[in-house]
Structure 1
Amino acid sequence: MPTIAPLDLAGHCVDARFIRDVPFFALADGTVHRLDNGHKTSEVHDGLLCAVLSADGKSLLTGGEDGRVCSTGLDGEATELSKLPRKWITALAAAPGGAIAFGSGRSAWVRSADGTLREFSHERSAEGLAFAPKGLRLAVARYNGVTLHWPATNSAPTELEWKGAHVSVIFSPDNRFLVTSMQENALHGWRLEDSRHMRMTGYPNKVKSWSWSVKGKWLATSGAPAAIVWPFAGKDGPMGKAPLELGTRGDSVVTAVACHPIEEIVAIGYSDGMILVARFTDQKEVLLRRPGKGAVSAMNWDASGHRLVFGSDAGDCGVVDITA
């Protein structure tokens, strides 16, 4: 039976993940908490809006309402990487090699490993950011599509158009597909070799969480009473194929998903705080956590896949050990 080490915090958990096997929790109030021989807290931002893992896995990158982009490592010290006065940092992405991207308003900035800063302006708000797997391209989700930049060159950007508001973006691990989540309760995708469109619709709610399976064959998503898992193994991606529906519940909506780093299973978090895992092959389910105080807002596995860290929108956080 899985065991849970709870951590009761005050406020919305924006991100929960392991930094070198240490659980980190980033809260909207600007604090970063870690469980490292006890509960430790760092005051990082005056209001925290987004957080991602650094490419080397050694620190948590965060952006805030104070216009700062910071890196917090195992020592709890927050290092300021960039500051944009009077701006809110609303999106972040990290690339192999140490480059990071962050967005505010209509601009996205890329900070290279040597500290050089480059701004990319757009006609509409830069909503979501993602680096391609090798870090050479940056995707910026915007109204009516995605703009692809080559930050290290002066090449003209590539525009991928689809009407509607695109709010976040992700590359497939093999760099064959690009997927966005939309304001219109849908996903949209492009096959990058020929810009062919892929429509993934039917969600009753907005997709706010997604996760690629270990080899990139599946994309698990929130936004429905089940985890909707799209197949991406074939050359056409999910086109013409029905998704898996895992962990279906009639009284709760999936709010967070996290694919296991080794096995083809996915952790599914719900609006009532329940967490279970489901296997892709036979859809078998195992309960990890009973309902709690708030909707699960963030989940991530450790590198071994033995522990799952989670946070909720009510500060109801913790770590599940599935080996116990």
Structure 2
Amino acid sequence: MTFGAPASLTSAFTPFDAGAEVVAAVFLGDAPVLALADGRLAFPGEAGDVRHSVAHPDGAILVAAADGRRLITGGDDGLVIASDAAGHEIVADENGKWIDAVAARADGTLAWSVGRELRAQTPKGEVKTLPLPSSSRGIAFFPKGYRLAIAHYNGVSLWFPNAGAPELLEWKGSHLDASVSPDGKFVLTSMQENMLHGWRVADGKNMRMAGYPAKTRSLSWSHDGKWLATSGADACVVWPFQSKDGPMGEPPRECGVRPEVKVTRVAFHPSALAVAIGYEDGMVLLCRLTDASELLVRRPDEGAPARISALCWDAKGTRLVVGAENGAAGVLTLPKK
């Protein structure tokens, strides 16, 4: 991936109307798919046309995750649905209870939270349940092994579904999103307060990352696991994780600074030290971490702005799908060298 003239990539961005608020955007293979709040999925075509499919006919999509082949959605109808271009399959029916979080990985392993319970499902369909101290809005798989990090009130539970009781990493307060570093050495959570909290898995050492003016709800790791990009400020705040102590004692970097305009979504490129940054006014930038050079992807909205609510790169790093809370969306196709 190279950055250079022109300073704008807007001509390589194909906009389209997704049709409703975008909850999440993913790639299934080479195909972009957007999960919409009204229960539908949007499948954009090459020319900006959009095909819709109803995944949750009687409910709204609350959360979504992808395993590379399927989009997994959880709704306020109590259903966990696995979808692809061919159709939809009910993975679980929780009898009308809201699905608070979902996670998926490439081997087909799934997890979801409902009420004060966490369910983990193997590719063969075996489901195990873990009682939680509170509801959970953030779950993440470790990169290796059948292990989960589950955010909840007063900390995170690390659970091997095949090995019984979980390990608890404690820190007082309400923990929201969960993220595990690509090397599995660190677990991070966003919190109800305007801060992040982390632990070193080996010994449970705490890491407190504060100073955000707003909640941090988007976290993205660089491909090499040495940087963590975050939302919640008027710049993309990027924390260093090169040392065994993570970011402790090291100042974060900032890129894509826009005074008084908050970053709402971040997505690191899958193979380059560059991050896509979405803002609360609908603008999207690409920023290279090494020298903070910037490329404009989408201009700010005119009139009533809409927050960027979804960003996702394809596996090759050649396309970026974008979605906003008002249904505005688009796909960036990076020019060939």
Instruction: Give TM-score scaled by structure 2 length.
Output: 0.92
The structure 1 residue matched to 2:318, chosen from 292, 302, 306, is 306
Looking at structure 2, the residues matched to 10 and 220 of structure 1 have their Cα atoms a distance apart, in angstroms, of 29
Give the conservation status (yes or no) of the 8 Å contact 1:53–1:61: yes
Q: Which residue does 1:41 correspond to in 2? A: 52
Is 1:188 paired with 2:197? yes
Q: Secondary structure at the match of 1:207?
A: coil
In the TM superposition, residue 153 of structure 1 has moved relative to its aligned partner by 2.2
Looking at structure 1, the residues matched to 135 and 314 of structure 2 have their Cα atoms a distance apart, in angstroms, of 34
Q: Which residue does 1:287 correspond to in 2? A: 296
Amino acid at match of 1:66: D
Is 1:116 paired with 2:126? yes
Which blocks of at least 5 consecutive residues in structure 1 are unaligned?
none
The structure 2 residue matched to 1:217, chosen from 226, 229, 236, is 226
In the TM superposition, residue 316 of structure 1 has moved relative to its aligned partner by 0.7
In the TM superposition, residue 90 of structure 1 has moved relative to its aligned partner by 1.2
Q: Deviation per CA, 1:62-96, whole angstroms, max 9, x where unpaired? A: 11111111111122x01111111021111011145
Q: Which residue does 1:131 correspond to in 2? A: 141
Looking at structure 2, the residues matched to 308 and 31 of structure 1 have their Cα atoms a distance apart, in angstroms, of 21
Amino acid at match of 2:318: H
Aligned residue pairs, count: 320
The structure 2 residue matched to 1:275, chosen from 284, 287, 290, is 284
Q: Secondary structure at the match of 1:170?
A: strand
Give the conservation status (yes or no) of the 8 Å contact 2:227–2:241: yes
Amino acid at match of 1:117: V
Give the conservation status (yes or no) of the 8 Å contact 1:42–1:78: no
Looking at structure 2, the residues matched to 275 and 97 of structure 1 have their Cα atoms a distance apart, in angstroms, of 32
Give the conservation status (yes or no) of the 8 Å contact 2:200–2:245: yes
Amino acid at match of 1:53: A
Looking at structure 2, the residues matched to 129 and 83 of structure 1 have their Cα atoms a distance apart, in angstroms, of 19
TM alignment of 1:240-255, pairs within 5 A: 240-255=249-264
Give the conservation status (yes or no) of the 8 Å contact 2:18–2:50: no
Looking at structure 1, the residues matched to 90 and 232 of structure 2 have their Cα atoms a distance apart, in angstroms, of 34
Is 1:316 paired with 2:325? no
The structure 2 residue matched to 1:64, chosen from 75, 78, 81, is 75
TM alignment of 1:257-272, pairs within 5 A: 257-272=266-281
In the TM superposition, residue 143 of structure 1 has moved relative to its aligned partner by 0.5
Looking at structure 1, the residues matched to 107 and 309 of structure 2 have their Cα atoms a distance apart, in angstroms, of 29
TM alignment of 1:145-224, pairs within 5 A: 145-154=155-164, 156-224=165-233
Give the conservation status (yes or no) of the 8 Å contact 2:281–2:306: yes
Percent of aligned positions that are identical? 46
Q: Deviation per CA, 1:38-71, whole angstroms, max 9, x where unpaired? A: 42111011110001111xx111111111111111
Give the conservation status (yes or no) of the 8 Å contact 1:209–1:221: yes
Instruction: Give TM-score scaled by structure 1 length.
Output: 0.96
Amino acid at match of 2:213: P
Q: Secondary structure at the match of 1:225?
A: coil
Amino acid at match of 1:171: V
Give the conservation status (yes or no) of the 8 Å contact 1:96–1:135: no
Find runs of 4+ consecutive structure 1 residues off by over 4 angstroms.
none
Q: Which residue does 2:3 correspond to in 1? A: none
- Aligned Cα root-mean-square deviation (Å): 1.3
The structure 1 residue matched to 2:40, chosen from 22, 31, 43, is 31
Which blocks of at least 5 consecutive residues in structure 2 are unaligned?
1-7
Q: Secondary structure at the match of 2:135?
A: coil
Amino acid at match of 2:70: S
Q: Which residue does 1:89 correspond to in 2? A: 99
In the TM superposition, residue 97 of structure 1 has moved relative to its aligned partner by 3.0
Q: Secondary structure at the match of 1:90?
A: strand
Give the conservation status (yes or no) of the 8 Å contact 2:139–2:177: yes
Give the conservation status (yes or no) of the 8 Å contact 2:79–2:96: no
In the TM superposition, residue 312 of structure 1 has moved relative to its aligned partner by 0.4
